[in-house]
Structure 1
Amino acid sequence: MGAKGKKKIWVMMEYLILAVILLFLLFPLYWVLMTSFKTNMEAYRFPPTMVPEAPTGNSYISLFTEDNFFFIYYKNNFIVSGVTAAVTLVLAIMSGYALSRFKIRWNRWIVAAFLSAQMFPIVSRMISLYDLLGKIHLINTRAGLILALTAAMLPFTITLMASFFDGIPRELEEAAIVDGAGRMQTLFQIVMPLVKSGMVAVGIYAFLMTWDDYLHAVTLIQNDSLRTLSAGVALRYLGELSYDWSKVNTISVVGILPIMFLFFFFQKYMVKGLVAGAVKG
């Protein structure tokens, strides 16, 4: 067998491996979508049916006409995710710029502290976090949840933004300062337009991580009207003895739509930003 034949075999094997990985990743989404159109009896059937035998949209109709709490959770998720992403982005820009431009003897220790913070599981700090927020009366409030989530996002996002600022030549800022621009004016008018991809990546990352958060929400929020989507669904729609799998999967389909649209519209900027930040760092 010649070199061309071996190359074709390797290419075919690569495509086969990619197809298996793609199937592995997409099958859960397919299963959720198909189950949302099944009756609950068919959802419990064993062996399961790959395609609904009698497709029905009753779960969607019931969700949009009867389950008012679902939309409360949905609204709370948008509020908490949006505010957390905005606050995280602002703080990451300011802190990342300071970490990149103001070199002090403690810079390496600060970066090491940020990186080490990512090594510990979230559950390890929940007790102290609950105690701290309880002392300042922020348990069971959106503000407390937003503060906790923002604190969880900042170590990675600050490091990422600092890597973007490191890739911007200092000569541009020095020229602006010579022309009479101040430090903040230089940041907002000269530097920030050059790191738009990084800002988009940080904003989307913070939004996605907050949207999927469960542990913070279920620990810090006990009021049902303030719960976010993941905690609300787990505590209201998943019973101890039996589940309405059709409705649970319907909720999953509706809940994932904003994230899918967000990723499809901004995936180019997010991937570009994360890759560029990693290379520059």
Structure 2
Amino acid sequence: MTYSQSHSNKIIVKILKYGAILGLIAVSLFPIYIMVISSLMPNAYIFSFPPKFIPVHVTFDNYSKIFINPEYLAYFTNSFITSTGATLVTLLLSIPAGYSFSRYGFFGKSFMMTTILSIQMFPIVVILISLYTFYLKWGMLNTYGGLILAHTTFSLPLAVLLMKSFFDTIPRSLDEAAKIDGAGRVRTMVTILLPLTKPGLVAVGIYTFLHSWDDFVLALVIMQETSMKTLSVGIAQSFLGEYAHDYGGMMAFAFAGSVPILILFAFFQRYMVMGLTAGAVKG
């Protein structure tokens, strides 16, 4: 093979590689693009034929009715409260649990880890009836605490596994050095080991926040009053009617609800990738 042929083959390989990457990006971003332009058009133009891939008759009415309606703003508030609460509770529980599984050896440790992880095997719909009955009996329906507890239950298993994986990567010599200096277990965990697990903390936090922010089924069952509905439930019940759908408003609401998630990824993407990668490799 001559030099020119080899050079041409390398160019073709690069073109194919970057073409595949650009194609994947285009396919991934296309639904988001359709959501954005649909939020800027009246409903009459969204499903017109031929389809319009460039917004026509641009209007911001779909966005204005979101931010001037107190009911819609309450959906954002409820989602933010429950997602933030579930994230904080999950972190508070997963940090000492992950530390204990990483640093202590005790009877039934493997069985307990298996039991915790087995919770992920059960779909949410399996426990909805019993969960609703329990919440009804104890007065936990239409409460932030009830939904936060439910979200924490389903986020905690993976969070514990991730935190254990990160504590496993930290040498035990640090624990021994802290013990020699007179530090107890709690102080060692909080002041010495925890700062070294920052990617894991960010990964657990973002995972839990996303899980809670995107939840529909649990929020639909637990939050039944209109004033307590979360974002996903509010979108479905406000813009999807029995005989007509407000797709423009729904797309505007969906895009506005995606902004907090985009901001989270913009600031913490590096830690998120590091956290999930380390958790997958070391777990």
- Structure 2 letter corresponding to 1:219: V
Name the counterpart of 1:95: 97
Is the counterpart of residue 61 in structure 1 residue 64 in structure 2? yes
Q: Which residue of 2 aligns with 1:35?
A: 38
CA distance in 1, matches of 2:70, 2:135: 29
Residue segments in structure 2 that go unaligned for 5+ positions in a row: none
- TM-superposed CA distance for 1:94, in Å, is 1.1
Q: Is residue 245 of structure 2 the alignment partner of residue 243 of structure 1?
A: yes
RMSD of the TM alignment (CA)?
Answer: 1.5
Deviations 1:71-110 (A, max 9, x none): 0000011100111101111111011111111112322222
Give the superposition deviation at 1:22: 1.2
Q: Which one-letter code corresponds to 1:17 in the other structure?
A: A
Give the structure-1-normalised TM-score: 0.95
1:15 alignment counterpart: 18
CA contact (8 A) 2:239 2:247 kept: no
TM-score under structure 2 length normalisation: 0.94
Deviations 1:231-271 (A, max 9, x none): 11111221122111111111111111111111101111111
Shift of 1:3: 4.6
2:273 to 253, 271, 274: 271
The Cα offsets for residues 179-233 of structure 1, whole Å up to 9 and x where unpaired, read as: 1111111111111011111111111111111111111100111111111100111
CA separation in 1, counterparts of 2:245 and 2:32? Answer: 19
The one-letter amino acid of 1:37's match is L
Aligned counterpart in structure 1 of residue 74 of structure 2, from 51, 64, 72:
72
Which residue of structure 2 aligns with residue 218 of structure 1? Answer: 220
- Once the two structures are overlaid, the 10-residue window that deviates more, 131-140 or 231-240, is 131-140
Answer yes or no: is the 8 Å Cα contact 1:114–1:159 preserved in 2: no
Q: What code does the residue aligned with 1:228 have?
A: T
Amino acid at match of 2:38: T
Q: Taking structure 1 as reference, are residues 245 and 171 closer, same or farther at Cα in structure 2, changes over 3 Å only?
A: same
Take 1:156 and 1:7, find their aligned partners in 2: how far apart are those partners? 43
State the AA in 2 paired with 1:262.
Answer: L
Q: 1:11 to 1:125 in 2, by over 3 A?
A: farther
Residue correspondence of structure 1 range 221-236 to structure 2 within 5 A: 221-236=223-238
Aligned residues: 280
Q: Is the 8 A contact 1:89 1:202 kept in 2?
A: yes
Aligned equivalents of 1:245, 1:199: Cα separation in 2: 37
1:166 maps to 2:168: yes
Instruction: Specify the code of the residue in structure 2 equivalent to 1:264.
Output: A
1:133 equivalent in structure 2: 135
Q: What whole-Å deviation, never above 9, does each CA across 1:153-203 have from its counterpart, x for those lacking one? A: 000000110000111111111111111111111111111011111111111
Q: Report the residue type matching 1:190 in the other structure.
A: I
> Is the 2:40–2:248 contact (alpha carbons within 8 Å) kept by the matching residues of 1?
yes
Secondary structure of the structure 1 residue equivalent to 2:121: coil
Report if aligned partners of 1:81, 1:210 keep a CA contact under 8 Å in 2: yes
1:4 Cα shift?
4.4
Identity across the alignment (%): 43
